[in-house]
Structure 1
Amino acid sequence: MTFYLSALIVTRKKGRNDLDADVIIIGAGVVGAALAYGMALKGKRVIVLDGADRDPRAARANFGLVWVQGKGSDAPAYSTLTRQSSDLWPAFRDELSTVAADRVDYERPGGLVYCLSETEYANRAAINERTHNQGAQADTEMIERGALERMLPAVGLGPDVVGASYCKLDGHVNPLQLLAALHRAIMLLGGKIEFRSPVKAISPVSGGFRVIVLHGELQAPRVVVAAGLATPALTEPLGLAMPMKSERGQILVTERIAPILPFPGSGLRQSADGTVMIGATNEKIADTSVTAASATKLAQRATRIIPALGSARLVRQWAGLRVLPLDKTPIYAESTDYPGLFAAACHSGVTLAAVHTAVIAPAMAGGHLPEDLAAFSNGRFNVQKCA
């Protein structure tokens, strides 16, 4: 699928007097904003509702990888969707930057997963083989230490590094620039973003839905809930189950240093401004506090990979909560009881932003998710429960 600037030249339909928008999107993070942007490109009048200031915001605690390898190794449909989005990303970034007149630092040089033992190396090779056996193209390969050293001429690898997994489809982006550009593009296309507008409830009404916010209500024929961990509380009263859990991830950031990492890595990447991001933990804890123990663990692994990082000053540490469907595969759900009500949840909002804009958004705006997205329905959890 291709993005075109001609999408800006649209004929906007006037809504009925009692409707505030064609679509109300609940959630102004990367997932909700990408969906709203995709709908606005198609000429839909959108209103995006942001949450409260102290809500957990995965979009503002993101590592910034646009990542393919390892995604969906046990879920072929997820693997395919991830590759589709990765292929859409370059055109998506170019058009978004033009529409928003905003810079979005994005590169797709391929990505690395470093292996610090023969066991890690063998485990990564097994993941790659399993993914390829499911029908995915062979876009990931194992790189032994000597070849890895040639790929990273400015880096002195630590003695524990035995090699890496490399996927040519992987890339990275500045996630804050991405979010800001999506917000700006939505507004330039005629959409509205209501910040500090947490939603209290959604209720069906004739011709659509009433969305109750702190200081009033809005109405639209379609509502999309993409509110991260707050999604189930809004959809389940209407019978739309969204089984998910949270997971805390902590990240470290160094001072700016000379460019040394031409490839982003899982847990180790250098941004366009020179800082090195180190992450991330996987903790079954539902708060966003940071800990010295996690900082130590992250720093130790990073310096085992690149010992020279030990002399770089840390300037920031933060934590965020991942939005994880129970099987870690995205959920795109639509209500059978209340047509026009949709929900979206995933932990790969940055990677999937391009496909959310180009594929998921038009489908939701049109009123129905296509059959080729059936693998992502929330109904799969009912099947698993019965089994």
Structure 2
Amino acid sequence: MTREYDVAVLGGGLMGAAIGYGMARLGRRTTILDEGDLAFRASRGNFSLVWVQSKGMGMPAYSAWTRRSAAAWPEFAAALKQESAVDCALDQPGGFTLLLSEAEMERRAAFLARLHAQPGFETYPYEMWDRARVRQVFPGIGPDVVGASYCPLDGHLNALRAFRASHLAFAIRGGDYFPDHPVETMEALPGGGFRIATSKGAFTAAKVVLAAGTGNARLGPMLGLAAPVRPQRGQALVTEKASPFLTHPVVTLRQTDEGGIMMGDSQEEAGFDTSLGLGVLAVMARRAARMFPEIGRLNVVRTWSALRVMTKDGFPIYQQSEAAPGAFLCNCHSGVTLAAAHALLLAPMIDAGALDEALLGAFTTRRFDVPAAA
């Protein structure tokens, strides 16, 4: 038996769940086809920031897209809570990048100035704070902290709850989720739409959304879409629960809604290797303890690694296939920050059959076609 849908989303991570939910709330009969828990899923290992600071060096459109998603998160979180009864613990009090030397302060200030000076960049509020001002927010900073950059648009949440809530809300809206259904082949049908063969049955859909992370590298060419993506390992650790003392997220550490202190800052080119390295974890923990000595007195209770989905330049890919219209390629490594945009902004574009050129025109793979000599 072949199951028929309006939209098939390939990939059950947070990106796929957010897009699937967005399509289902538009009234489209939608399915999510997923490899299952054996997939290299960044959604269960990410750092859970909703972050605007630093985004867009070399591509101002990325900063603008990120800002729109951060602004949409309150609506998205409220909708998920209303439909699924799961609270994502969204908190957007503003975020900090703490700096441990005068040289770091100078580099950070220069970077943010260059970022905002790019032609076409939509500037947003940020400030450089000295140590005295930082201590007003974080009385427990260590002696090595000389200052920070601050952006009022930043925040964080409980990404595992957001992942769960997105899937629940998708199901409540009538969406069908098929785990353990890795896609084997796909083809565009002569009269329009697509046929998808999985290891456990066939599906047809009027539209297909490729949101399978690094799996898009294999799936994309089936529908005329190149997906130049690779895995990048990130390691993280979390401490035992502590009394609240981090009122705002810091780009490399944050106190979760459950009380633990989460640390993460590594970017490793290790292929699909998800092993852990005590050296990397120790460096992150040591820097965190320099920022907040209290952290050095806490026990680490868990460590893990996950694979980011990285493109050649680190920016997202959003593109409709020219060879097979109705097939959309979606890749990014900021799946938490951009989840609200994927559900509330991207899904309606896919439903309309065209991506907004003003918002997403910069994100096609055509940017990689420029000759190296140029």
Report the TM-score when normalising by structure 1.
0.92
Do residues 36 (structure 1) and 36 (structure 2) align? no
In structure 2, how many angstroms separate the alpha carbons of the residues matched to 1:279 and 1:351? 16
Offset, 1:245: 1.9
In structure 2, how many angstroms separate the alpha carbons of the residues matched to 1:291 and 1:222? 42
Give me the identity figure in percent: 43
Contact 1:256 1:273 in 2 (8 A): yes
Offset, 1:303: 0.8
Do residues 368 (structure 1) and 336 (structure 2) align? no
Write the letter of the residue equivalent to 1:378.
T
Instruction: Output one character per residue of 1:101-136: Cα deviation in whole Å (capped at 9) or x when no partner.
Output: 212111000001111111211121122112222333
In structure 1, how many angstroms separate the alpha carbons of the residues matched to 2:366 and 2:231? 20
2:316: which partner in 1? 330
Do residues 226 (structure 1) and 177 (structure 2) align? no
Contact 1:128 1:141 in 2 (8 A): no
Do residues 178 (structure 1) and 162 (structure 2) align? yes
In structure 2, how many angstroms separate the alpha carbons of the residues matched to 1:246 and 1:125? 30
In structure 2, how many angstroms separate the alpha carbons of the residues matched to 1:374 and 1:136? 16
Do residues 282 (structure 1) and 267 (structure 2) align? yes
Do residues 123 (structure 1) and 107 (structure 2) align? yes
Q: Which deviates further from its counterpart, 138-147 or 225-234?
A: 138-147
Offset, 1:341: 0.7
In structure 2, how many angstroms separate the alpha carbons of the residues matched to 1:323 and 1:111? 24
| Residues 181 and 376 of structure 1, relative CA distance in 2, 3 Å threshold | same
Contact 2:77 2:87 in 1 (8 A): no
Listed as ranges, the matches of 1:71-110 within 5 Å are 71-110=55-94
Q: Which deviates further from its counterpart, 242-251 or 105-114?
A: 242-251
For 2:203, what is the secondary structure of its paired residue?
A: strand
For 1:22, what is the secondary structure of its paired residue?
A: strand
For 1:357, what is the secondary structure of its paired residue?
A: helix
In structure 2, how many angstroms separate the alpha carbons of the residues matched to 1:131 and 1:317? 33
Offset, 1:238: 3.0
Do residues 381 (structure 1) and 368 (structure 2) align? yes
Offset, 1:384: 5.3
In structure 2, how many angstroms separate the alpha carbons of the residues matched to 1:73 and 1:258? 37
Write the letter of the residue equivalent to 1:94.
A
Offset, 1:368: 1.6
In structure 2, how many angstroms separate the alpha carbons of the residues matched to 1:384 and 1:345? 23
Offset, 1:19: 5.9
Listed as ranges, the matches of 1:242-321 within 5 Å are 242-286=227-271, 287-321=273-307
Contact 2:2 2:202 in 1 (8 A): no
For 1:379, what is the secondary structure of its paired residue?
A: helix
1:9: which partner in 2? none
| Residues 366 and 385 of structure 1, relative CA distance in 2, 3 Å threshold | farther
Match of 2:32 among 24, 48, 59: 48
RMSD of the TM alignment (CA)? 1.4
Offset, 1:54: 2.0
1:6: which partner in 2? none
For 1:158, what is the secondary structure of its paired residue?
A: coil
2:150: which partner in 1? 166
1:213: which partner in 2? 198
Contact 2:233 2:305 in 1 (8 A): yes
In structure 2, how many angstroms separate the alpha carbons of the residues matched to 1:335 and 1:386? 27
1:136: which partner in 2? 122
Write the letter of the residue equivalent to 2:305.
A
Offset, 1:386: 7.4
Write the letter of the residue equivalent to 2:362.
A
Match of 1:187 among 171, 174, 178: 171
1:359: which partner in 2? 345
In structure 2, how many angstroms separate the alpha carbons of the residues matched to 1:192 and 1:31? 16
Write the letter of the residue equivalent to 1:224.
V
Write the letter of the residue equivalent to 2:103.
T
Offset, 1:81: 0.6
Instruction: Output one character per residue of 1:147-174: Cα deviation in whole Å (capped at 9) or x when no partner.
Output: 0001113x2x222111111110000010
Offset, 1:378: 1.5
In structure 2, how many angstroms separate the alpha carbons of the residues matched to 1:289 and 1:203? 36
Q: Which deviates further from its counterpart, 306-315 or 48-57?
A: 48-57
2:133: which partner in 1? 147
1:111: which partner in 2? 95
Equivalenced residues, count: 369
